[in-house]
Chain A
Amino acid sequence: MSVEETIKRIQSQKGVQGIIIVNAEVLICNAGIPIKTTLDNSNTVHYAGLIHQLVMKARSTVREIDPQNDLTFLRVRSKKNEIMIAPDKDYFLIVIQNPSE
């Protein structure tokens, strides 16, 4: 099953507002580079930068407690929607979903 198909399926699921794939390398401005997105440009850059920092913090927290452990998934549930972040070695996959829609 190719990644493209999976991402298309996720996009077509109920309530999904956007998908962003961010490169995990850090630029000087301390943000990842968005590679693929279904949102508009300004929102994408906003999300990419902020979420990158959050993931780095979460990951370092997990690994500080036990260096053999690593972060696999992060979910941020808010009043309006839910941001799901799946970090990989080189990329992050971010999906914004409104579950009650």
Chain B
Amino acid sequence: MGGGVEEWTQERTLEKPANQLDLSEEELNEEITRILTSNNPHAPQNIVRYTYKERTYKPMSTVDQLAVHCVLEGNLIHKDSDEARSQRAQQGLIKVYYCNPGEEAVEMVEGEGGVNEEMGDEESNVRKERKLKNQFNFWDRGSQTLNNPLRCTMYDVYTEELQLQEKNKEKQRTQSSKEDKRETKLVPTETQSDDISKLARVSTNMERMVVQNIFDDIAQDFQYFEDSADEFSEGGTLLPLWKFHYSKAKRLSVTSLCWNQKYQDLFGVGLGSYDFTKQGSGMLLLYTVKNCTFPQYIFSTDSSVMCLDIHTKMSYLVAVGFYDGCVAVYNLKLKTMLPTHKSSVLSGKHTDPVWQVRWQKDDMDNHHNFFSVSSDGRVVSWTLIKVLKEYVYIRYTLSLKRLDASTHLCGRCIDFHKEFDNMFLLGTEEGKIHKSSKAYSNHLIQTYNAHNMAVEAVRWNHFHPRVFISCSYDWTVKIWDHTVPTPMFTFDLNAAVGDVSWAPYSSTVFAAVTSDGKVHVFDLNTNKYKALCQQLVVAKDTSQLTHIEFNPVHPIIIVGDDHGYINCFKLSPNLRKKPKVSLLTLSGFPVK
């Protein structure tokens, strides 16, 4: 027994491990302090940051010492937060009122009664809930797909919206006013069987561009060429520009020409035959100088077209007179080949060829009307009247002109005074010119013994109110003052004169065409006795020139011949001189 205790009381010797550090006595007695800190031993101690100011890396003094051991996301939200409020509002337990900032927000619980509402002195605003932004209900511009859209796409979308809105409005309107039957235009619904029929406008543009490339030099001449030889001589020249010819109009002669006043590159050509024995079909063509290879509008007619006139204001209305005595009105806006209105035996057509038609100003009821002259002795005024809602037809109103039975008036040409619309001149086949008025039915104011053969053309001067010009197959061109019974000037052109026309820019310039293929241009201001220009424009023996017209704005003329060709010429500067003296002083009338 004593042995175990003895073992215990024996001094226990320390056992040293083999690799224990050997320290000296002083070192063993050294006191070492141990500190307890809250530093995270895993936190890095040598983080450096780049400073742009000093452009170096500098060590950061403070390093985050937080060590996260465990994170658990909970689903509790504070009762005053937005989301909590919205939840409660949705559940409908509590009506929530927001007051202005600075006052206490008071909640009133519905279920409890008798709770005072402390709203504060001011009224509270009930505001719409602010939109909550979380990852499911959050969007801004940056997260949208289309950033920086083109202005044009935005514009397109807006215009579409606008159109939809307007359509809706119209639908509502038409629904409300279904009872009163309005004029509903029948819009032709073309079923586009051909894919490319939409390209009509585009293809006409393209054709004009191609033609412009081909006839580029002519277009340049038209715009820019000025004959410099005119400085050295008194006379002028005609520069040939475009030639217009339609292949199907080979055997027809040009019977009338007319420029469109609104679209000054467009002109109308009436084709037919002057020969009594060779009457066949006729054509009405409209060309534009932008495309000289093919006409813009083609209308085929049964009978020769003898005359045409394009309305000055409604530039899509073309009045046409035929050899068989009918008159017709074509509407260029419609895509039909037929005239919109045509006279017939019942409506009082002429019994002889219609030699001239002229549009007049709209009458008092705003109806369009025109006059026609025929060798059956009648001057007829036609009015387009709308009867019933859509039906439009020609009605023959009055105006018969007849002398006593012995002398029968065979009108060949007519022209209305520019200023006094009522007064007009009528040239006849006997060679006389009669001055009369629309107001008088049977009475003639004055008669001029003008020519020995039929009067081909009679025209009032554009500027001078008393002057008019006439021409005839008796080789002469005569200029008159309507107060004087004899002509002021007589020009002998050595060949039958087919047509004469005043220039729109000067009161003293006029041009005439003769059957020997020459164009004569006169300027009475420069030379009273001789033509400034007498130019052969077609082959002498084969063609005769029939008509001539000046363009209203451009310095060009068109000349038609009896083979269906239309030639366009540019006037040289000497032929384009405008009068320097104001005509206001001469006659008291304003210059146009």
Contacts and interface: CB of A to CB of B under 8 A. Distances in A.
A68 interface: yes
B199 A91 contact: yes
Contacts of A84: 206, 209-210
Given A3-B194, A3-B199, A35-B195, A82 B206 contact: no
A21 B310 CA distance: 36
Contact of A60 (B150, B154, B207): B150
B198 interface: yes
B196 A86 contact: no
B199 A99 contact: no
A15 B202 contact: no
Nearest to A85: B206
Contacts of A13: 207, 210-211, 214, 293
A97 B212 CA distance: 12
Contacts of A87: 202
Given A64-B151, A68-B155, A90-B198, A14 B203 contact: no
B150 A64 contact: yes
B214 A15 contact: yes
Contact of B199 (A15, A64, A68, A93): A93
A72 B195 CA distance: 20
A67 B210 CA distance: 29
A2 interface: yes
Contacts of B214: 13-15, 99
A35 B195 CA distance: 9
Contacts of B10: none
A86 B213 contact: no
A36 B196 contact: yes
Given A6-B203, A67-B152, A68-B155, A91 B198 contact: yes
Contacts of B298: 1
A38 B216 CA distance: 25
B277 interface: no
A3 B211 CA distance: 16
A88 B211 contact: no
Contacts of B194: 3-4
A9 B294 contact: yes
A3 B150 contact: no
A63 to B, nearest CB: 3
Interface residues of B, number: 29
B66 interface: no
Contacts of B198: 88-91
Given A9-B207, A35-B195, A84-B206, 6 more contacts: A1-B200, A3-B197, A4-B194, A67-B155, A86-B202, A90-B198
Contacts of A89: 198
A67 B151 contact: yes
Interface in B172-218: 194-207, 209-211, 213-214, 216
Contacts of B206: 10, 84, 86, 93, 95
A16 interface: yes
A2 to B, nearest CB: 7
Nearest to A91: B199
Contact of B202 (A36, A67, A68, A93): A93
A7 interface: yes
Contacts of B216: 99
A13 B208 CA distance: 11
Contacts, number: 91
A64 B153 CA distance: 9
Contacts of A16: 210
A33 to B, nearest CB: 11
A49 B293 CA distance: 32
A18 B421 CA distance: 55
Interface in A53-101: 60, 63-64, 67-68, 72-73, 75, 82, 84, 86-91, 93, 95, 97, 99
A16 B156 CA distance: 36
Q: Which of B155, B201, B206 has the most CB of A within 10 A?
A: B206
B294 to A, nearest CB: 6
Interface in A27-65: 35-36, 60, 63-64
Nearest to B199: A3
B160 to A, nearest CB: 13
A51 to B, nearest CB: 14
**3 tightest Cβ-Cβ pairs between the two chains A and B:** A63-B152, A67-B155, A99-B213
B195 A10 contact: no
14 contacts: A1-B200, A4-B196, A6-B204, A13-B207, A13-B214, A67-B152, A67-B155, A75-B209, A84-B210, A86-B203, A87-B202, A91-B196, A93-B203, A97-B210
B300 to A, nearest CB: 13
A35 B199 CA distance: 12
B284 to A, nearest CB: 15
Contact of A73 (B199, B209, B293): B209
Contacts of B196: 3-4, 7, 21, 35-36, 91
B298 to A, nearest CB: 8
Contact of A91 (B202, B205, B207): B202
Contacts of B210: 10, 13, 16, 84, 95, 97
A5 B293 CA distance: 13
A36 B203 CA distance: 13
Contacts of A97: 210, 213
Nearest to A15: B214
B207 A6 contact: yes
A68 B205 CA distance: 21
A68 B152 CA distance: 8
B179 to A, nearest CB: 38
Contacts of B204: 1, 6
A21 B151 contact: no
A52 B120 CA distance: 69
Q: Which of B198, B200, B202, B204 has the most CB of A within 10 A?
A: B202
